[in-house]
Amino acid sequence: MAELALIADALVRATPLIMAGLAVAMAFRGGVFNIGAEGQLLMGAATASAVILAWGPTAGIAAAAVALITGSVAGATWAAIAAELKRRFRVLEIISTIMLNFIAIHLVSYLVRGPLQEPTRIYPQTESFPTAATLPVILPGTRLHLGFVLAVSLAVVLAWFFRSTAAGFRIRAMGASPRAAWSVGGIDVDRTSFAVFLMSGALAGLAGAFEVTGVTFALYENISPGYGYTAIAVALIAGLNPIGIVASGVFFGALETSAIALQRELSIPASIASIIESALILGALTFAVVRGRSLAAMQTMVR
């Protein structure tokens, strides 16, 4: 039973990594360097929390559903700032999304110490959501929630989207070569790039909404231990392939859960996980180069 709980914990940890990993894959495939999954995830978490808390004690599964939708809209909106800065002012999204990550962190900090703080005003967090407004547990006796199933389903949908739809093809074409996509394919690069950014943000926002409605049941600072950054590793190890992201997300979820267990039991610092993650990114890059695959090639890979 203890092992089952450990596996479930790994899958719980994997859920935001898969979602944010899909967000990163969507962006990178379309040639958009969205490093802002972290901020978009936080905005999704904050907005989902606000919706459920505003609903009040009667909040039920309908509130949770609305929270998920508004959470993903919030993620898309946060990404839209960087997308608009890129479209109108040619601001590098690498820089703007990182700035927006910091702004989101301070915004969450303000919310949980200000308007959304719990009624006793002691702890920097919101009050807990009504149980009826949380995502159902799918494996009784564990913390594994519906969000995991939804994340895996979305990965399947995205795999189909990239492989079998015209829009998915346009995105891959643009990631491979914006100039060719425009001159040969007649693709409106600015518009497609903007749409990719929004979809990427929506996926990251949904990751945050899943996290508050499925795991924490409240909003607080540090709600994300850097999911948005780890997600870059998750997506790259999987070669930006949605199905692969499910596997690498579960792998990283297990890695981080084990690191936390190791810290607790053997006092090995959990930060060792980020050393392993960065080594894996560098390894994946080297592997891609050795096999003659640049990132551009990775973006067009169809599996």
Partner 1 sequence: MSALESFLEGTVRTATPLAYAAVGETIAERAGMINIGLEGAIIAGAFGGFVAAGSGSVWLGFVGAGLAGMMMAAVFALFTIRIRADQIITGTAISMLGLGLTATLYRQVYGAGGAALSIPTMGIIEIPLLARIPVVGQPLFAQPPATYFLYLLVPAVWWWMYQTHAGLGLRAIGEDPRAAIAAGIPVHRTQTLAVLFGGFLGGIAGGVLVIAQAGSFAEGMSAGRGFIAIAIVVLGRWHPLGVAVAAIVFGAASATQYLFQAMGWALPYQAFLALPYVLTLFGLAGIAGKATAPASLGRWPA
Angle in degrees, CA 62, 65, 68, rounded to 5: 150
**Residue 46 binds partner 1 (CB under 8 A):** no
When binding is defined by CB under 8 A, the residue of 62, 294, 302, 303 that contacts partner 1 is: 294
**Minimum CB separation from partner 1 for residue 126, in Å?**
16
**Residue 275 binds partner 1 (CB under 8 A):** yes
**Minimum CB separation from partner 1 for residue 16, in Å?**
17
**Residue 264 binds partner 1 (CB under 8 A):** no
Q: Return the number of the residue (87 or 143) whose C-beta is nearest partner 1.
A: 87
Instruction: Label residues 129-151 b or e (16+ Cβ within 10 Å = b).
Output: bbeebbbeeeeeebebbbbbebb
When binding is defined by CB under 8 A, the residue of 56, 61, 62, 102 that contacts partner 1 is: 102
Q: Which candidate, 164, 167, 135, places its Cα nearest to that of 151?
A: 135
- Mark the segment that binds partner 1 (CB under 8 A) among 45-53, 102-110, 137-145, 197-205: 102-110
**Minimum CB separation from partner 1 for residue 286, in Å?**
6
d(CA 7, CA 22): 22
**Residue 278 binds partner 1 (CB under 8 A):** yes
- Mark the segment that binds partner 1 (CB under 8 A) among 7-15, 48-56, 70-78, 98-106: 98-106
d(CA 4, CA 13): 14
Q: Return the number of the residue (295 or 301) whose C-beta is nearest partner 1.
A: 295
When binding is defined by CB under 8 A, the residue of 6, 7, 33, 262 that contacts partner 1 is: 33
Binding site for partner 1 (CB under 8 A): 33, 35, 81, 85, 88-92, 94-96, 98-100, 102-103, 106-107, 109-110, 113-114, 229, 232-233, 236, 267, 269, 271-275, 277-279, 281-282, 285-286, 288-289, 294-295
